[in-house]
Amino acid sequence: HDVQVALHTDGLNECLNVEDTLAVLDGRTIHAFHIEGCGGGHVPNVLRLAGVPNVLGSSTNPTLPFGRDALDEHYEMIFAAHGLNHHSHSDHHLVKDRIRGGTMGAEGVLHDLGVIGITSSDAQGMGRAGETVRRTFQLAARMKQAADTGPTRHDNERVRQYVAKLTINPAIAHGLAHEIGSLDVGKLADIVLWRPDHFGAKPQLVLKSGFPAYGVTGDPNATTDSCEPLVLGPQFGSFGATAADLSVAFVAGAAVEAGNDRMTTRRRRVTVKRTRGIGPRDLVMNDRL
């Protein structure tokens, strides 16, 4: 089936190590989630998957950008997320194996070089889903200051590279790019508008299929739209049947061909496509091997 797999590799190497995984893939396309490995994956060298022609790598956001307290934070995070025992020496060593400052630091450089092309997040287990945009651009700012990754380049080029990590590249990886991921004719007009001073934290307006769905709203009794309090909340596109009318349901092509659609939603069905035979070279502004 032409559906992408987000691979979370074996952190204990009980079944396979990283070279075994590459051998099993045998050139087939895969999306390697947690490619740095702090969130899980082959210890100690899952980062070996970065830059492999058939492996689409992505980072979850707790390790982005790598900072002063990253090692200590992740030590406690892993214990909590996996229900481990602080009094167990084996649990302690398992956690220490997953937290590697060297690969966490290298992850940011590989992003700036375009070797890792996607940023993403878990939730409640090594991820902060609401911070992906902010952390992606914190990484961009950090790399501008610190990374010696080539000739000096204009800020706009780096901005476009990091926007692609959040938008078009995940869409390409999962077979959705014909419908979402960029502002092009024929695609859904899913747009987030930000005030510059709130970028990555609080959107001003979210358009779903070109329709206001969420954003800043003032007091309906006010004489002007700038009267406070201004609050973020649902707008016209979020109410009633409108949300379903503005949205799509992505499905496998095999499911469409089989018919017998039992999904209890009025959303338009859209087939995912072209997830096989792609790799990092197909990503936008993040295609370095």
- On whether the CB atoms of residues 69 and 112 are closer than 8 A, the answer is no
- How far apart CA 66 and CA 73 sit, in angstroms, is 11
- How far apart CA 236 and CA 227 sit, in angstroms, is 20
Residue 82 is among the residues annotated as catalytic for this protein: yes
Other C-beta atoms closer than 10 Å to the C-beta of 106 total 17
H or E element that contains 60: strand 55-60
H or E element that contains 193: strand 191-194
3-state secondary structure of 5: coil
82, 93, 154, 178: which is the annotated catalytic residue?
82
- Measured between alpha carbons, how far is residue 30 from residues 17, 93, 126, 279, 282 in Å? 16, 29, 21, 8, 13
Task: Output the CA torsion sign for 200, 206, 208, 210.
Answer: negative
Question: How deeply is 83 buried, as exposed, middle or buried, from its count of CB atoms within 10 A (0-12, 13-18, 19+)?
Answer: exposed
Q: Catalytic residue numbers?
A: 82
